[in-house]
Amino acid sequence: MGQGMGGSAGRAAPVAAALGLDVGGGAVKAGAVLLDARGRLEPFLSEVRVNHHLEADGAGLTALCARTARDLFGRLDTAWPGLPVVWGVSAAAWIDPDSGAAVFSPHLMGWRHRPLPADLGAALAKATGLPLAAEAALPRPLDGVPVPAVVNDADAAAWAEARLGDPGMPSADPARPARPDRMVMVAIGTGIGGALVQDGAVDIGAHGMAGEYGHMTVDPSGLPCPCGNTGCWELLVSAEALAARAGHASARPALDDALSGDPRGVRAVQETGRWLGRGLATLAAVLDPTRFVIGGGVAVAGDLLLDPARAELARHIPGGRRRPVPPVTVASLGNRAGWLGAAGVALERAGWSVTGSSATGGN
Ligand SMILES: [Zn+2]
């Protein structure tokens, strides 16, 4: 289990709390945050990680989430009795924005077509022996169990990076007036996930499917993709693509090679970075962001990956000489972004305003 991180000494008493669960294909990561009266979040319990192999067993995965949430609820209730508590779940799934149902999920097969908010709320009620809280009432811990907010994992992570992450380098051109933040996050892992966050609000698209940047065609003569197209961006930039270039079965040793200066590893990361930059140029043409934030496991390569990406972006961005080129930085919240985002979105949906973080220096 996680350990308490946030001392309350010297801080305003919290007005609410939220649990976040980030449910990926192999593990559930979870934690809790406190919200103060100024709208700032502070991590309170961070972080629980439970490995699972329940991809095909939706009921088992739901029960695991309920047990994890029950434990966190109990610890919050002990520390802050009576504090309103909500919870949010970030899932590697296409989430219907109206119902919260998992419409499709290649990584969580058992959650396909499940009405997740109802399932998870009922499972937590069963695990705690408490009733489901009335939707209109602010839920108190262990008096009643609220229905969770359910969010796509890339959207949750992007929300957290935009609101709570390190804002990174200042605007590309300090002589220009500051713009509202328009952040595009690109998370590189098995595939590419992403999201556009305008002024702190995630643009999920008309059907909750915006941000599938990994399936832009970047090399029309490239390899066939399981999605039906050829030369998709994620085939050129994913962890697998990097591993193949470096002659490894997985990305981790390729990254280790590169970071220790091995020439083949360095070349593999640089080529991956160039393809990253090509795709960023297309995204810049379409979305005109103020900045790019790169997350996911491959981003640990840092500037070794990002310098060639920045160079390709500057070379290929339409109107490159006459427009600011968006800065490209590494995501700062690491693998906490998913559960932090789920917790934050849950607070917003319950009517609280979240302005930033008291712990990570954002906003
Ligand atoms: Zn594809």
pLDDT in tens, 119-165: 999 999 999 888 888 766 677 777 888 999 999 999 999 999 999 99
Q: What are phi and psi of 335, to 5 degrees?
A: -85, 10
Separation of CA 231 and ligand 1 centre (Å): 7
The model's confidence at residue 361, banded by pLDDT at 50, 70 and 90, is: very low
Considering only 30-34, 70-74, 138-142, 217-221, which range has the smallest mean pLDDT? 138-142
What is d(CA 89, CA 98) in angstroms, rounded to the nearest whole number?
Answer: 15
The model's confidence at residue 3, banded by pLDDT at 50, 70 and 90, is: very low
Separation of CA 114 and ligand 1 centre (Å): 25
Enumerate domains of the chain plus CATH numbers. Answer: 3-156+336-357 (3.30.420.40), 167-331 (3.30.420.40)
Please give the pLDDT value at position 11.
64
What is d(CA 18, CA 31) in angstroms, rounded to the nearest whole number?
Answer: 9
Look up residue 185 and give its DSSP letter.
E
pLDDT digits (tens, 9 = 90+) for 269-289: 999 999 999 999 999 999 999
Separation of CA 336 and ligand 1 centre (Å): 27
Separation of CA 216 and ligand 1 centre (Å): 7
Please give the pLDDT value at position 360.
46
**Whole-structure pTM value:** 0.89
Q: Is the pLDDT of residue 19 over 80?
A: yes
pLDDT digits (tens, 9 = 90+) for 55-101: 778 999 999 999 999 999 999 989 999 899 999 999 988 899 888 88
Average pLDDT in the 174-198 region?
A: 86
Separation of CA 121 and ligand 1 centre (Å): 34
Please give the pLDDT value at position 1.
36
Please give the pLDDT value at position 309.
98
Q: Which residue has the higher pLDDT, 257 or 176?
A: 257
**How far is C-alpha 260 from the chain's CA centre?**
28
What is d(CA 41, CA 358) in angstroms, rounded to the nearest whole number?
Answer: 6
Asked whether the beta carbons of 291 and 161 are under 8 A apart, the reply is no
Please give the pLDDT value at position 4.
37
Mean pLDDT over each residue of the chain, to the nearest integer: 88
Please give the pLDDT value at position 176.
61
